[in-house]
């Protein structure tokens, strides 16, 4: 009898352990020194925060619900390594990067909360990323200098389908972009739909994003922004080649999140980035170039931007990387009237650690 009772207790204990949520603490610390000279300004030497890896910490957890179902969550906060402050201008969020709860089944994943848009280069539900170092290092030499990027989205629902022969479907909707309103129609909404393919050597993705740019009552309503992006990468073994193209229609921002004040029609532009990563001396050498050609629809002015950069990354361990990078960028006359920070040069050396 005692043996039977003991066996039952052990069985219940094992079931309880199995049902418990598995929680993981993770994050990164990245710092270095940047020498920078922007056009029309003096050269500066400053501490570089998160040049390669994002300075942040987070918690993620999952619980197996049985029958192939599970619940999961993620809470993530960014910080400034040089002073310990929150890396958000408002400083009003406990978790300013990702904060979501989700459910996964054989039909895919669905998550609710604060989530990165498809073209934001932020978080697990973003599908952008076909460049050698994406948004790392100075904006003078990464895709910030040419592309219209979306951002973190509040009040968001994201869906990720199961893989079907390497293909996945991605859908994201935000009922209020970075804001809360009592009336749904007054919110700025975000819509995103895309598909990705992951093969042994070839990766491919394409996606559409739309921001309806709604404003409060009594204010002029800008046209909706539509972003169309296609990207691909191919691993040749000796090197990996990346390419990404974007067409922006009625964007209310220019590259590097530069606001177009008073815009109604915004800007139309083409952007292209090409890059390569080559293994070298135990690390990786990366070259990247990108450019944009556009037109301000309200004034008829044409603008352009162009940048290039190179980096070397050397892994000291699985978690720690030593790196150096240099970049240069320029922009056309119509762009120069904006304080975009995209004309000049910068060089950085730093150390990144993930935990």
- Contact at 8 Å (CB) between 69 and 88? no
**Domain assignment of residue 8, yes or no:** no
Q: Which pLDDT score, from 0 to 100, does residue 15 have?
A: 45
Q: Tens-of-pLDDT digits for all 355 residues of the chain?
A: 444 434 433 343 444 444 567 899 999 999 999 999 998 889 999 999 999 989 999 999 999 999 999 999 999 999 999 888 888 777 778 898 999 999 999 999 999 999 999 999 999 999 998 899 888 888 889 999 999 999 999 999 999 999 999 999 999 999 876 555 556 666 789 999 999 999 999 999 999 999 998 865 445 678 999 999 999 999 999 999 999 999 999 999 999 999 998 889 999 999 999 999 999 999 999 999 999 999 999 999 999 999 999 999 999 999 999 999 999 999 988 888 888 889 999 999 999 999 9
User: Looking at residue 182, what is its pLDDT?
Assistant: 56
pLDDT for position 35: 96
* Domain assignment present for 233: yes
Q: Which domain holds residue 303?
A: 58-310
Domain containing 249 — which CATH number? 2.40.160.10
Residue 158 in any domain: the answer is: yes
Report if residue 111 sits inside a domain. yes
Give the count of domains, the chain: 1
Show contacts of 282-288: CB within 8 Å, 24+ apart: 282/314, 282/315, 283/312, 283/313, 283/314, 283/315, 284/312, 284/313, 285/310, 285/311, 285/312, 286/132, 286/133, 286/310, 286/311, 286/312, 286/313, 287/132, 288/131, 288/132, 288/133, 288/141, 288/142
Please indicate, yes or no, if residue 198 is contained in any of the structural domains: yes
Cβ-in-10-Å burial (0-12, 13-18, 19+) of 137 comes to: buried
> 25 lies in a domain?
no
Name which of 142, 140, 126 is nearest 286 in CA terms.
142
| Cα Rg, the chain, nearest whole Å | 23
- 75 belongs to a structural domain: yes
pLDDT of residue 92: 74
304 belongs to a structural domain: yes
* Encoded tokens for 143: 């895709």
Angle 91-94-98 from CA coordinates, rounded to 5°: 105
Contact 242, 272 (CB under 8 A): no
Confidence at residue 161, expressed as pLDDT on a 0 to 100 scale: 98
């Amino acid at each position: 009898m005692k043996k039977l009772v003991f066996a039952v207790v052990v069985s219940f204990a094992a079931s309880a352990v199995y049902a418990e949520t598995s929680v993981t603490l993770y994050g990164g610390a990245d710092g270095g020194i940047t020498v920078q000279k922007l056009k029309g300004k003096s050269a500066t030497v400053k501490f570089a925060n998160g040049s390669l890896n994002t300075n942040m910490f987070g918690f993620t957890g999952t619980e197996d619900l049985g029958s192939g179902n599970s619940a999961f969550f993620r809470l993530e906060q960014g910080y400034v390594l040089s002073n310990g402050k929150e890396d958000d201008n408002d400083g009003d969020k406990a978790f300013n990067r990702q904060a979501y709860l989700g459910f996964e089944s054989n039909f895919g994943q669905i998550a609710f909360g604060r989530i990165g848009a498809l073209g934001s280069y932020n978080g697990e539900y973003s599908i952008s990323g076909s460049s050698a170092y994406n948004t790392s290092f100075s904006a003078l030499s990464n895709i910030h200098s040419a592309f219209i990027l979306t951002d973190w989205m509040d009040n968001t629902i994201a869906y990720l389908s199961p893989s079907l022969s390497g293909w996945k479907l991605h859908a994201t909707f935000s009922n209020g972009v970075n804001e809360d309103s009592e009336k749904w129609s007054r919110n700025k909404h975000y819509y995103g739909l895309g598909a990705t393919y992951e093969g042994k050597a070839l990766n491919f993705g394409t996606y559409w994003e739309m921001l309806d740019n709604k404003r409060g009552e009594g204010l002029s309503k800008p046209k909706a922004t539509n972003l169309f992006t296609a990207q691909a990468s191919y691993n040749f073994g000796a090197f990996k080649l990346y390419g990404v193209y974007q067409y922006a229609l009625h964007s209310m921002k220019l590259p590097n999140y530069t606001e177009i004040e008073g815009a109604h029609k915004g800007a139309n532009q083409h952007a292209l980035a090409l890059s390569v990563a080559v293994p070298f001396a135990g690390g990786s050498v990366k070259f990247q170039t990108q450019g944009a050609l556009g037109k301000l629809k309200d004034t008829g002015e044409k603008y352009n931007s162009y940048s290039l950069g190179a980096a070397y990354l050397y892994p000291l361990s699985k978690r720690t990387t030593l790196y150096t990078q240099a970049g240069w960028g320029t922009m056309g006359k119509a762009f120069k009237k904006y304080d975009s920070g995209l004309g000049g040069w910068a060089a950085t050396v730093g150390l990144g650690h993930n935990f």
